[in-house]
Structure 1
Amino acid sequence: MRIPRMQRRALLALVPLLAAPSAWAAELSVLSGGAVEPGLAAAVEAFRAAGGAPVRIAYATAPQLRERILGGETPDLLVAPLALLAELADRLSGPAVPIGKVGVGVAVRPGAPEPAIRDAETLRAAVEQADAVVFNRASTGLYMDRLFERLGLTAVMAPKARHYATGAEVMQHLLHGTGREIGFGAVTEIRLVPGLRYLGPLPPGLQNTTVYGAAPLPGQDGAALLRFLAGPEARRALDAAGVEG
């Protein structure tokens, strides 16, 4: 039986769609901590290139992640500090898969003094000499508050501390500063801003790393992406962005 020309053209137009495994796949949603953004975005690009479904990622701080999940939001995957994933375990449908850790780094704007922070004494001196000390209210900022208290800098910090909700706001403050500001943030977030001077990570003994993981939520469809994030291609993308395995 001959197929009419118009029908034949319509069938031929469908062939590329039928051949592509992700063509009809529903978009996956991911809710993630902002510190892993550069590595996660690169890993998701690799997932798509390998034939995975489209992925939409929303970034937030750890406190915001907690609030959104407890408020009923149900992404396919939640990427967050392991401590938060443990806290939210009853909202998840499976165990968390570790994807990497992120440390705390130090940054200043171009032209500002660049203190060499090698140990507790040089960190104390840098804070005492700074006009403002800038960090967020998320995992990094909570750790820095504890570190400054441990170093006996609470009184020194009181008039100098500048807190922001997100790491991106910290970086913007530093970029547009005019004095001797010094900032602390996730190494990955600092490296996203080429205009800043990255002075390096906090030294051993002062450093804090936050381990991030990914976990599925009930009734959602993130299993394929979760498997990919645990694999070698994603590992290479995450490592290259500073999310260390």
Structure 2
Amino acid sequence: MEKILIIDDDLEIISLLKDIFSDEGYVVYTANNSEKALELINKAPNIILLDVMMPGKDGFELCKEIRSIVTCPIIFITAKVEENDIINGLAIGGDDYITKPFSIREIRARVKAHLRRDKRDVEKENNFLLFKNLKIDLCTREVFYFEKEVSLTKREFDIIELLALNKGQVFSKERIYDKIWGYGAEGDCSTVAEHVKKLRAKFHCINDNFNYILTVWGVGYKWNTKEEGNH
């Protein structure tokens, strides 16, 4: 049974959303502040609905704090609709935005769509990630594309692994750099773009249709959850 964590300081919205998703058969956890939300993270939710404008620690700050702990989709629910707010929310690990006031039908559809996307396209069997024409062996750290092995450096494989294990989630260059190179590493996040460029080139040598690593302009990169796409 899938679990939803709803975080909002508006008790009426919490009550409304809890009723909606409980009726749909989900297990629903609720928190009206960041401290309570942090206590509920160990429930391993399948998706998080997160209000941005909360007293104390806001939704953006909370997202940054929990994103290294959870890999599930995070949907921001907010009245903040400026482009910079949306870009900031995606850059720190959010997956989607729903603006207030929201439609019940829309929020139901968005949640279902993210949960479907989180399940499909990748089949994890033993230590393999299997995509169309792409196989990633997490144990031996080998990658095969159209049944041909792709020789990757340690950092290149780390980038592939991070994105593929968190399909559809947008990662900023800064976040990729911190996760793979480590906090306090010498250098800067511009090296991430160079590694992605080299990665794509290696796959394109085998087949030009490699579209799994997508650029999210102004934000960073994500793993394409469709079999085909633009890069």
Q: Which has the larger radius of gyration?
A: 1
- TM-score under structure 2 normalisation? 0.27
Higher RCO (C-alpha under 8 Å, 6+ residues apart): 1
Normalised by the size of structure 1, how large is the TM-score?
A: 0.26
